[in-house]
């Protein structure tokens, strides 16, 4: 929901890792498990407050949502639905183009949606909804990418995180999923308010880290609960 990294690996594989930064006043999320969503088997966590999710994986897609589009925006409720419902609604559609053309984005709060398609070939689509207009961009799946929530982090901090991520790749050319999880826990400059794992006065913290790893025909979905220091691992065909 708040920071997301993508790293390509051999044979059209990838490692996608996400930190969820959230208020401790918000109820703890339900750990990821399998659901049948619009006829599709999906693994995802659930937000107990609004019933949506911020990251979900099926046989063909992994979808992740970050709050905000390009810059922080003014919160003007009521909204038609939670942003976390957008990911669940995505699985009503067979293709990204079908979703973009036919989904109603009206009266949903600003967000960035990253869609990884892993059918015959690897594709990345980035959608940014600024509250009135949808912007669609295709990203190179052979390059590394990082996204940070525009509602939580200024452009300066987002740029700084890009530098941390670039330094990590230089220092770890033979990166592993475990090393990336370490980066998501400990990367930064020693400022708990802006590091990869945040703690803002014990009120707003990184609650969990999710990671999807695609290797050959296999997908694994890891969930690290930082509130209880418990880790779950799912492996699916």
φ and ψ of 3, to 5 deg: -145, 140
In a domain, 231, yes or no: yes
Q: How far is CA 108 from CA 54, 85, 102, in A?
A: 15, 10, 15
In a domain, 59, yes or no: yes
Q: DSSP string covering 14-62, please? A: EEEEEEEEEETTSPPPEEEEEEEETTEEEEEEE-TTTS--SEEE-SSEE
pLDDT digits (tens, 9 = 90+) for 99-158: 999 999 999 999 999 999 998 889 999 999 999 999 999 999 999 999 999 998 999 999
In a domain, 192, yes or no: no
In a domain, 183, yes or no: no
Q: How far is CA 110 from CA 4, 57, 70, 114, 153, in A?
A: 17, 22, 9, 14, 15
pTM, 2 dp = 0.94
Share of the chain residues as helix, strand and coil, in percent rounded to the nearest 5: 15, 40, 40
pLDDT digits (tens, 9 = 90+) for 3-38: 999 999 988 899 999 999 998 888 888 988 999 999
Distance CA 64, CA 227 (A): 21
Q: State yes or no: pLDDT of 163 exceeds 90.
A: yes
CATH number at residue 78: 3.60.60.10
Q: How many domains does the chain have?
A: 1
Domain containing residue 94: 3-153+200-236
The model's confidence at residue 75, banded by pLDDT at 50, 70 and 90, is confident
In a domain, 158, yes or no: no
First to last CA, the chain: 25
Distance CA 136, CA 163 (A): 25
């Amino acid at each position: 929901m708040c920071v997301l990294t993508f790293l390509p690996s051999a044979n059209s594989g990838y490692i996608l890792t996400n930190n969820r930064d959230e208020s401790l006043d918000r109820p703890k999320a339900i750990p990821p498990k399998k659901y049948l969503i619009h006829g599709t088997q999906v693994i995802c966590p659930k937000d107990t407050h609004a019933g949506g999710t911020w990251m979900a994986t099926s046989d063909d897609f992994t979808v992740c949502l970050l709050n905000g589009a390009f810059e922080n925006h003014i919160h003007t409720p009521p909204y038609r639905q939670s942003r976390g419902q957008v990911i669940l609604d995505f699985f009503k559609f067979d293709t990204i183009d079908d979703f973009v053309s036919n989904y109603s984005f009206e009266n949903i709060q600003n967000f960035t949606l990253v869609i990884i398609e892993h059918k015959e070939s690897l594709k990345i689509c980035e959608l940014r909804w600024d509250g009135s207009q949808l912007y669609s961009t295709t990203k190179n799946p052979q390059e590394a990418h990082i996204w940070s929530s525009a509602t939580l982090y200024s452009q300066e901090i987002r740029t700084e995180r890009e530098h941390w991520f670039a330094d990590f790749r230089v220092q770890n050319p033979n990166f592993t999923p475990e090393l990336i999880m370490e980066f998501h826990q400990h990367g930064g400059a020693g400022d708990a308010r802006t590091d990869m794992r945040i703690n803002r006065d014990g009120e707003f913290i990184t609650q969990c880290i999710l990671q999807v790893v695609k290797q050959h025909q296999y997908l694994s979905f890891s969930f690290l609960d930082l509130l209880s220091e418990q880790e779950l691992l799912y492996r699916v065909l």
